[in-house]
Amino acid sequence: MKLDKLKSINCFITWMPVEEESGHVSKIPSLTGQPFDYAHYKEPGMLTDYATALARLESTPLLHDGGIGVCIPTGVLVLDLDKCRDPDVGTIAPAARTIMDECKSFSEISPSCNGIHVWCLANLPAGYHKKKFMRDGQSIEVLVPGSFCTFTGNAIGVCSALEDCTEYVSALYVEAGIQRTTIPNVYLPPSNDPLLHCRHSPGTCPYGLKAIEAQLIEVRTVKKAPGRRDALYTAAVSLGHIVAGSGQITRDQVYDALRPMGMLVNLTRGQCDYYITRGLERGAHKPVFRDCAPKNVKLLEGLPTKSERIF
Ligand SMILES: [Zn+2]
């Protein structure tokens, strides 16, 4: 997911610094910066896109010591790497650098300038929570959807997009010996936009191609006249779920694949187009969201099954 896409989602809000008795400064969501006027950011209407939050920050003098934050949307995780950067010279601790290099996902400097946030796409099963653990002397806090996280946009490294780090983060949990718990995560749906879109160029996604192939086999194996129409329609419905969801397949691709197969089993071109169109319409009523990993990719133990996925 490109950074601009994240910025277009209604998940942003301004924050103000609040010094606690311990001396620790917390970053608390607030729309005004007035003392004790904290925003309940999960309530409707509080979260906006990035540009709106930025405009508020810039036009509200009491927020000038604050910044912009995100209520982390579904499908996104942040790895919060604390105290890993020298704010004066910019050197980064090797253990933190390793994590950035392994994730290959958009990373930014924290408001204090001594930490780094790695922003990832991740589709973890329910039961993975906000967790803090150490790795090679570096503290890692995994911030999950629904958590508040500051956002500076002050990029570090070469990655300008959020990449899918599901397997990487799962492996970190396993490595740290963290067990899944049975308490479900609380997810906030910040927008209707599906976040985990296909990142392949149209028509080339391995998951999409596999799905089409599976449906072609279904249609081809039905020889009897009435069944052929049903099979074509059902195939179009199945693919229509994906077209309307995470988009690994295009509409045109469905016509191009199913039409010749329909004609091969002696349906006319008109019949084929009719049933494909109806099937696509029907499928769009129930979009499905999947990542692009082909089914034969072996996932780590404990990774989500289809029914457990966030989407
Ligand atoms: Zn894809």
User: Does pLDDT of 120 surpass 60?
Assistant: yes
Neighbours of 13 (CB within 10 A): 24
Q: Residues 143-171: what's their mean pLDDT?
A: 89
User: Does pLDDT of 190 surpass 70?
Assistant: no
Higher pLDDT, 78 or 175: 78
Å from CA of 105 to ligand 1 middle: 17
pLDDT of residue 65: 94
pTM score, two decimals?
0.59
Per-residue pLDDT tens over the stretch 203-258: 888 889 999 999 999 898 887 777 888 999 999 999 998 998 888 899 999 999 99
Å from CA of 98 to ligand 1 middle: 27
Per-residue pLDDT tens over the stretch 29-59: 999 999 878 888 877 788 999 999 999 999 9
Higher pLDDT, 306 or 202: 202
User: Does pLDDT of 200 surpass 90?
Assistant: no
Å from CA of 199 to ligand 1 middle: 5
Domain ranges in the chain? 3-175, 206-284
pLDDT of residue 187: 37
pLDDT of residue 185: 37
Residues bordering ligand 1, an ion, CB closer than 5 Å:
198, 200, 205, 248, 292
